[in-house]
Amino acid sequence: MVVWDENPPNMPPPIVVLSLIIINTIVFIYTFIIAPLNGYSPTLIIENLGLVPLDILTGHKLYTILTSMFLHASLTHILGNMLYLYVFGDNVEAALGRKNFIILYFASGIGATIFHLTSNVIISPGAALNSLASTGVTPWEIPAVGASGAISGVLAAYLLLFPTAEIKMVTFIGWLPVFLRLPASVYILIWFIFQLVYAIVTLGLGVSAGIAFWAHIGGFISGLALTPRLVNKDRLRYLYLRFIY
């Protein structure tokens, strides 16, 4: 599914958003292209710089709370995350300002980490055994990587700041493209409900698609809590005057 929105005219360039996309892309290219050429395995990089719950809970490798936000496990992983960051991030950066957008982004990423760690602590023994049987490792040992927790906070900010903005998307039924238009509030709330349902399933059954759904929930809730404190009302008013819904 490809998603995009309409931006108000003369909106300032999203310097922070574009910088984050560039940094994430460089890290991805290094991890999967440059590092292997020099004898370093992408798997080893992810294991060393990804967020392993057991390490954090025992006070080790705390730097991975940050480094894991810039690592991605596959091309589809980074493409999806960077698309969402670009589509939803530019408006939010314009409304918050660059400094406050950085605060929102990384604070949401930290909130995502807290929720992810908590989900591992309270996971049922049966679910942990299910994970061990299917993957060979417990949930506490699986590295979590990706910017999606931080980007979830950006989606929450977009929901609060631009609920009536029109989101356009194209999806496919077989080979047939289907074009849809939805208010941002509807699209993002549907996204959140899916995350919550899958998060509850993974917590109770230990069945995982390799996605840290509770991190998405944590990032989203962090964004909801932080946005009202970070928004620049003058900037937001200026954007509303230029938006055509």
pLDDT tens across 8-55, in order?
Answer: 667 789 999 999 999 999 999 999 999 999 999 999 999 999 999 989
- The residues near 60 (Cβ < 8 Å, ≥ 6 apart) are none
pLDDT tens across 145-187, in order?
Answer: 999 999 999 999 999 999 989 898 888 887 888 888 999 999 9
> Model confidence at 62, in pLDDT bands (50, 70, 90)?
very high
Q: Is residue 227 over pLDDT 90? A: yes
> Model confidence at 130, in pLDDT bands (50, 70, 90)?
low
Q: Is residue 200 over pLDDT 60? A: yes
Q: Is residue 86 over pLDDT 60? A: yes
Domains of the chain, earliest start first: 2-242 (1.20.1540.10)
DSSP per residue, the chain:
-EEEEPPPTTPPP-HHHHHHHHHHHHHHHIIIIIHHHTT--HHHHHHHHSB-HHHHHTT--TTHHHHGGG--SSHHHHHHHHHHHHHHHHHHHHHH-HHHHHHHHHHHHHHHHHHHHHHHHH--HHHHHHHHHHHSS-GGGSPB--SHHHHHHHHHHHHHH-TTPEEEEEEEETTEEEEEEEEHHHHHHHHHHHHHHHHHHHHHH----S--HHHHHHHHHHHHHHHHHH--HHHHHHHHHH---
Q: Is residue 103 over pLDDT 70? A: yes
Mean pLDDT of 106-116: 97
Residue with tokens 């690592």: 71
What does the alpha-carbon distance between residue 63 and residue 74 come to, in Å, rounded to a whole number? 22
Mean pLDDT of 209-235: 90
